Amino acid sequence: MGQVFPNNGTLRVGTRGSALALRQTERVVELLNQHFPDLICDVQVVSTAGDRDKQTSLQILGGQGIFAKELQLALTTGEIDMAVHSVKDLTSILPPGLKLGAILEREDPRDVIISNRGRLEELPAGSTIGTSSRRRIALIKRLRPDLEIADLRGNIDTRIRKATEGPLDAAVIAAAGVDRMGWTDSVTQHLSIQEFVPAPGQGALGIEVRDDNHRVLELLEQLNEPQTAMCVEAERAFLRAVGGGCTSPIGAHARIEGDVATLTGMLATENLEHMCIDTINCKPFELADRAHLMAAGMLEELSMEVRHR
């Protein structure tokens, strides 16, 4: 494939301003430069609502898209050519005129425990564990109902420090973020996908573009990892099918090994009192359809549980 931009062309790459977001964007720029050595990338930091307010609970802030809306607006208005996201931060339906131009090869999709007091099952009763995710809260309540849960926001280094130095006893954080920052030594435990189902898209970076920007879309074909993209799309199909957003108590993870795909889904009621977790195997091309079927079954099962309480 030849050069998509002229030799003196500049690609405006939008990103959040956190250390983790900048690290992720650096990786995207490195990959772009490997394929297009003459391409100039201008990284532009866009402040998002979620970054400006690191104290208020995500549920109070409004949750859906608070780490993406301003980047999406900058794309729509033409201020940037592409935006780098953690896919798990995106709403299930993107704004009109925008699409994911590439999904990069996924890193570790699991959640991890950060603690000086041991693994999740070893924490003393009454210990305080921090997270701002309703999915993680629901899963913690299922596995360790005897723990206290505290809302935990802030940059990843702040969250790790609060879990290792206090006031918290532990925290649950995405493994991929810890790995990208080079802080794997702080991890106490990797939580299994079957018991602690990740958020849809967790561990994957997505590049959002305008759907009419054909030059950038052609360029991003070089960065897209088809198998990861197929899995992430199935996870997001599950998210859409249950009517959830990026802060809903919903988990989904798909993987492909050879000609067998595995999809694990998790759905909890809004009050977090009822939960379904299921895993199915299918052909890779069936993933999206099976995600819809799984979602429909879980919605029906939870509805029956609530009715028969």
Whether 81 is a known active-site residue: answer no
226 backbone φψ class: left, alpha, beta (φ>0; ψ -120 to 50): alpha
CA atoms of 229 and 251, how far apart (whole Å): 17
- Grouping H, G, I as helix, E, B as strand and the rest as coil, residue 277 is strand
Pair 268, 135: CB distance under 8 Å: yes
Q: Phi then psi for 102, rounded to 5 degrees?
A: -160, 145
Give the DSSP letter of residue 23. Answer: H
Q: Is the alpha carbon torsion for 28, 30, 36, 39 positive or negative?
A: positive
Q: For residues 151-173, b (16+ Cβ closer than 10 Å) or e, as one string? A: ebbebbeebbbbbbeeebbbbbb
Alpha helices in 36-174, H assignment, sequence order: 49-52, 58-61, 69-76, 134-143, 156-165
Cα torsion 11, 109, 198, 22 to 10°: value is -30
Q: Are 267 and 139 in contact (CB under 8 A)?
A: no
Catalytic residue among 38, 51, 81, 89: 89
Report the catalytic residues: 89
